[in-house]
Structure 1
Amino acid sequence: MAARAGIVVTGTEVLTGRVTDRNGPWLAERLRLLGVDVGQVVVVGDRREDLAAALRHLAGGHDLVITTGGLGPTADDLTAEVVAEVQGAVLRLDPDLEARIAARVASLTAARGWATAPEAMARGVRKQAMVPEGAHVLEPVGTAPGLVVPSAQGPAVLVLPGPPGELRPMWEDAVRDTLVLAALAGREELRQRTVRIWGPPEAELAEVLRTHEAERGLEGLEVTTCLREGELEVVTRFAPAAQGAYDRLEAALVAAFADAVYSTDGRTVDEVVFDLFAGTGATLATAESCTAGLLAGRVADLPGSSAHLVGGFVTYANEAKTALVGVPPRLLEEHGAVSPEVAEAMARGARERLGTTWGVGVTGVAGPGGGTPEKPVGLVHVCASSADRTEHRVLRLGGSREAVRRRTVVECLHLLRVLLDEGR
């Protein structure tokens, strides 16, 4: 059996949703790349008894337990102390570590102009330099060191800081530590492949998978599916010995869904569109009303997007539609802002003003108010325009205002994907 790890994410701010957990998913993927399966990711608040219970729970059935967070200088930072207690170790001051942390704190204090009392600062440094006996220290990236704490009764615990900017640079040192290497001695390659499908309903995918399993089997494959923003995502994990079984599954999906399968190599629609722009040399301008720049922002999320995203206009008010991208007032009066005619005029105006290959116009009713029987909440018109082609989509979307705006952006990306692919 492959090595298994459990992860404890600490912090009441994460537990209550004030801060999104970025460490659990990141660590799970890093571990998979090492051939380590993640059994559970547990989120606990800054409570001693809950953290201790989570550590004891994960000790069963896991070769390594990893914690993130709770290593700071304040009273609610309890991780090192609780891990020591659970592992049966006594906390001792490491004077050399204390000196190194103090130097880091002094440097940060000078750089940021902090005026913390020296006594308070010294107490915080001392707290962070308390190390469980027998633990290996991972050099701090910020002010908090990492720790690898062994136990005679169970798995070692790898203690990492909470800020991703400190945790991620520490990871390479962590996985080279001898205690961690010993804990993960049973690791083996764990492959993961992702197929992305646009359009078909989830029930259709479920039927294809059921049929394939009955006829060809899914032995050795761990298949998970997810419906997200209208996209079907099929993620499969498997050992190398099951590569043939996976190849048959992927072929079955491609055969069943044909062009609806837009990625078999894990690329997202954003990445596929980026590659198509790069391959065709096309450029883009946007004019957005209800999405208010979300489309341009998402295109710009990928590094290098300046090679094809020239610019965008946020034309929320009718006056902005006319002034910025030249929508004729007559169109607005005759058809209203939420109409195919206005979406087309916005797309064409953005393209002509910025001299791009493609322009995209978006106008709709995101809600929760503003809808009418003729133009209800969730009605969105999207248009893509080039010098010789115009494509229009009518979207009728449900959900919250945020959901309507987010889904509209995804629809725009897929429209661009299809048009750019056809134009190659």
Structure 2
Amino acid sequence: MTVRAGIIVTGTEVLSGLIRDANGPWLSEQLREAGVSLREIVVVGDRPEDLRRALDFFSDVDLVLTSGGLGPTADDLTAEVVASWAGTHMELDPALEERIWAIVNGLRKRIGGEEAPMRAGARKQAHVPVGAVVLEPRGTAPGFLIGASPLVAVLPGPPRELQAMWGDAVETEPLRALLASAGSLEQRILRFFPLSEPQIAATLRELDADALPFEITTCLRRGELEVASVYDEPAAGAYAAFEEELRARHGEVLFSDDGATIDEVIAGLLSGLTIATAESCTGGLMAGRLTDLAGSSAYVLGGVVVYSNEAKTTFADVPAELIAAHGAVSPEVASALSAGARARFGADLGIGITGIAGPGGGTPEKPVGTVCLSVAAPWGVEERTVRLPGSRTDVRDRTTTVALHMLHALLQRR
């Protein structure tokens, strides 16, 4: 059975962009793992009529998930709107109120606050729709399951609370039974570098991808091309043939066929080795990216940000005469930076980066976006000068991607 779902994210702060939506993507992945086909994610402000329209929009699916709008303030209206839409009304649950108050009072004793308004907030949150299955608070707000076609799962807004409550909800009837009736969906992610969007678009047209019995999405992320496919069991053979075609056409730039990012691939390849960085235009972003993953202390020894010429000389041992002869942004200086990083930290590998991130500072010979990179190891060196498009932020971020792929190439030659 195909189970279809929709997600409604509520909150004017999310709609306006003040807070980035973390719940929609997370819930989407949980649904895919449960074999549920997601129709859309809708973001609405704290306006009852907007939430009702979103509920109407999803009236033909099997499951609707809402996040947010369950707090103690006047604009937290999700529970009341969903109850009305489901044809029921709100009612105070005295026992639930006492459980919520015990949580709120514990917070009040730690952070302070007047008892009366906090009591009133606990009472508001203890009103639940008649006939709903209540999900116990994971913060101060309970959630609930209500309805049948569609079943509506009402969840809190704070991601930590929502994720914990989702774990409770999937073990609670009737959601447990609905999810049990779903089939299974497989997701495969292939990552390529370098490969442009026009190239993959041409390939997909040649393969008549629109006629394939599964969903394909492409995304350019941090300079890498990602091809994601979601399919059910009957389409497994068609997907296998599709992946084989992609390998035949672009296998030389396929660096991950199991969804692993280049960061994760590098972490695996660095086992037993150490690395250090000396960066100019990226200002520490390279070291930051290398240390984003847990366990990176096993291979990252350290890094230096050497923005000025004096810093390059003092902290990365770049000869001043080298800078004078070739300029700070040059392959020669990048090479000296990678060697300096290795020597200063006693690392097996060194990354050196120097460039012009913009928006100013470019010249006709070295325009904005020019970056010189060097990755050095005892068994070889990878060097490259690139001209990267985009804003200052784009150039700096994409530089780290280029460096990681240079590191990947060097590690594969070990």
TM-score, normalized by the shorter chain, greater than 0.5? yes
Correspondence 1:212 to 2:207: yes
In structure 1, what is the equivalent of residue 143 of structure 2?
146
**What's the offset of the Cα at 1:388?**
4.0
**2:286 partner amino acid:** L
Which of residues 265, 283, 296 in structure 1 aligns to 2:258? 265
Correspondence 1:189 to 2:180: no
Q: Give the secondary-structure state (helix, strand or coil) at the position aligned to 2:189.
A: strand
**2:190 partner amino acid:** V
**What's the offset of the Cα at 1:263?**
0.9
**What's the offset of the Cα at 1:229?**
2.7
TM-score by length of 1: 0.94
Q: Give the secondary-structure state (helix, strand or coil) at the position aligned to 1:178.
A: coil
Alignment of 1:28-177 (within 5 A): 28-60=28-60, 62-111=61-110, 113-114=111-112, 116-150=113-147, 154-177=149-172
Q: State the alpha-carbon separation in 2 of the partners of residues 388 and 3 from structure 1.
A: 54
**1:125 partner amino acid:** A
**What's the offset of the Cα at 1:182?**
4.2
Preserved CA contact (<8 Å) 1:361 1:384: yes
**What's the offset of the Cα at 1:212?**
2.7
In structure 2, what is the equivalent of residue 321 of structure 1?
312
The root-mean-square deviation of aligned C-alpha atoms, in Å, is: 1.5
Preserved CA contact (<8 Å) 1:155 1:183: no
**1:361 partner amino acid:** G
Q: Give the secondary-structure state (helix, strand or coil) at the position aligned to 1:176.
A: coil
**2:2 partner amino acid:** A
Q: State the alpha-carbon separation in 1 of the partners of residues 140 and 93 from structure 2.
A: 14
In structure 2, what is the equivalent of residue 247 of structure 1?
240
Q: State the alpha-carbon separation in 1 of the partners of residues 70 and 342 from structure 2.
A: 52
**What's the offset of the Cα at 1:183?**
4.0
Q: State the alpha-carbon separation in 2 of the partners of residues 200 and 17 from structure 1.
A: 31
Q: State the alpha-carbon separation in 1 of the partners of residues 86 and 313 from structure 2.
A: 68
In structure 1, what is the equivalent of residue 377 of structure 2?
386
Preserved CA contact (<8 Å) 2:382 2:407: no
Q: State the alpha-carbon separation in 2 of the partners of residues 218 and 48 from structure 1.
A: 40
Which of residues 181, 195, 220 in structure 2 aligns to 1:200? 195
Write the deviation string for residues 170-228 of structure 1: whole angstroms up to 9, x where unpaired.
112111221213444541001111111111222222222233338xx954221111122
Q: State the alpha-carbon separation in 1 of the partners of residues 26 and 390 from structure 2.
A: 29
Q: State the alpha-carbon separation in 1 of the partners of residues 321 and 74 from structure 2.
A: 65
Greater shift in the superposed pair: 224-233 or 308-317: 224-233
**What's the offset of the Cα at 1:337?**
1.4
**What's the offset of the Cα at 1:110?**
2.4
Q: State the alpha-carbon separation in 2 of the partners of residues 126 and 292 from structure 1.
A: 51
Q: State the alpha-carbon separation in 1 of the partners of residues 168 and 79 from structure 2.
A: 18
Q: State the alpha-carbon separation in 1 of the partners of residues 378 and 77 from structure 2.
A: 62
Correspondence 1:4 to 2:4: yes
**1:404 partner amino acid:** V
Q: Which runs of 5+ in 1 are unaligned?
A: none
Preserved CA contact (<8 Å) 1:64 1:184: no
Preserved CA contact (<8 Å) 1:150 1:179: no
**What's the offset of the Cα at 1:118?**
0.8
Q: Give the secondary-structure state (helix, strand or coil) at the position aligned to 2:208.
A: helix
Which of residues 254, 270, 282 in structure 2 aligns to 1:277? 270
Q: State the alpha-carbon separation in 2 of the partners of residues 272 and 150 from structure 1.
A: 45
In structure 1, what is the equivalent of residue 279 of structure 2?
288
Cα distance 1:183–1:387, how it changes in 2: closer, same or farther (>3 A)? closer
Correspondence 1:367 to 2:358: yes
Preserved CA contact (<8 Å) 1:136 1:147: yes
Write the deviation string for residues 114-151 of structure 1: whole angstroms up to 9, x where unpaired.
2x211110111111111010111111111111111226
May I ask how many residue pairs the two structures share in their alignment? 414
Preserved CA contact (<8 Å) 1:326 1:345: yes
- The percentage of aligned residue pairs carrying the same residue is 53
Q: State the alpha-carbon separation in 2 of the partners of residues 219 and 411 from structure 1.
A: 33
Q: Give the secondary-structure state (helix, strand or coil) at the position aligned to 1:291.
A: coil
TM-score by length of 2: 0.97
Q: Which runs of 5+ in 2 are unaligned?
A: none
**2:14 partner amino acid:** V
